[in-house]
């Protein structure tokens, strides 16, 4: 069974490796995003909290901290949207985060943070494409440490995949891990591919991503745990 992975390439390769460990799947890397990290001035001294909505935000902040910032972050309170983001923070900064919500959405992270944050200032290292759920309701600042762009060859790769699916009878699984991966994929589909897609499976990492899928007239399966490993459990059930 083909499993189409629309994540950025490096993250997509990790997804593919996990699938290969399960066996009986053919990962197809179809990155709909390219990640570009930005060099921006970041002074974390005035913030009591730093909140991350993706592992990329963690990596992006790390790339922009000087020696003083790397020392100061040890004393900051840290929020992470999910366990993968928390794991990446621990890998890079060698300490645990303070808050991870039970469900990995911005709304649940906001709820958890509002229970412990009073008038403390918050820094959110993220991308311009992120939803503004946190920035609208927390006292703090957003810094764009990375941005996403559409790969130049995406339309060609989608056309190639369409032709492959036309020659096969087996169902494929299309996976999406963010609203932007959904939008960049669907905006490059022609009418024929949209019809083809109706005969295949879609797996979304969570309800927010799936709401974007639904806006195009499709509905995806959602894992109980909003992680790539949770998605793999759903994919296994579709065999």
What does the pLDDT look like over 8-54, one tens digit per residue?
999 999 999 999 998 889 999 999 999 999 999 999 999 999 999 99
Q: Is the pLDDT of residue 204 over 90?
A: yes
Rounded Cα–Cα distance for residues 180 and 148 (Å): 9
Report the pLDDT value the prediction gives residue 24, as an integer from 0 to 100.
83
DSSP per residue, 20-51: HHH-S-EEEE----EEEE-------TT-SEEE
d(CA 118, CA 139): 9
> How sure is the predictor about 129, in pLDDT bands with cuts at 50, 70 and 90?
confident
When pLDDT is cut at 50, 70 and 90, the band that residue 5 belongs to is very high
Residue 118 has pLDDT above 90, yes or no: no
Average pLDDT over residues 162-168: 94
pLDDT above 70 covers what percent of the chain? Answer: 100
| 49-99 tens-digit pLDDT | 999 999 999 999 999 999 999 999 999 999 999 999 999 999 999 999 999
* pLDDT score of 157: 97
For the entire predicted model, the pTM comes to 0.85
Q: What is the pLDDT of residue 85?
A: 96
The pLDDT of residue 65: 96
CA dihedral 124, 129, 131, 137 (to 10 degrees): 40
pLDDT band at 140 (very low <50, low <70, confident <90, very high): confident
Give the pLDDT of residue 125.
97
Residue 131 has pLDDT above 90, yes or no: no
CA dihedral 123, 143, 130, 128 (to 10 degrees): 170
Name the pLDDT band for 132 (thresholds 50, 70, 90): confident
Q: Phi then psi for 204, rounded to 5 degrees?
A: -105, 145
What domains can you pick out in the chain, each with its CATH number? 2-32+150-237 (3.40.50.10090), 36-148 (3.40.50.10090)
Cα distance between the two ends of the chain: 7
The predicted structure's pLDDT at residue 169:
87
């Amino acid at each position: 069974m083909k499993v189409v992975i629309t994540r950025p390439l490096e993250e997509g390769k990790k997804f593919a490796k996990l699938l290969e460990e399960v066996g009986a799947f053919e990962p197809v890397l179809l990155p709909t995003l390219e990640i570009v990290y930005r060099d921006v001035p970041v002074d974390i001294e005035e913030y009591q909290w730093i909140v991350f909505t993706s592992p990329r935000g963690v990596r992006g902040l790390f790339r922009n901290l000087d020696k003083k910032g790397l020392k100061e972050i040890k004393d900051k309170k840290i929020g992470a949207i999910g366990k993968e983001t928390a794991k990446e923070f621990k890998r890079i900064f060698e300490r645990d985060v303070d808050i991870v919500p039970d469900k990995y959405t911005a709304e649940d992270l906001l709820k958890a943070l509002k229970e412990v944050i009073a008038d403390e200032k918050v820094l959110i290292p993220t991308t311009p494409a992120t939803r503004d759920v946190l920035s609208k309701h927390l006292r703090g600042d957003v810094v764009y440490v990375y941005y996403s762009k559409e790969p130049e060859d995406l339309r060609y790769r989608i056309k190639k995949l369409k032709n492959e699916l036309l020659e096969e009878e087996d169902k494929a699984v299309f996976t999406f891990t963010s609203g932007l991966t959904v939008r960049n994929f669907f905006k490059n589909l022609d009418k024929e591919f949209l019809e083809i897609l109706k005969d295949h499976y879609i797996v979304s990492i969570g309800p927010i991503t799936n709401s974007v899928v639904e806006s195009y007239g499709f509905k995806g399966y959602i894992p109980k745990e909003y992680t790539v490993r949770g998605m793999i459990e759903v994919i296994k059930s579709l065999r």
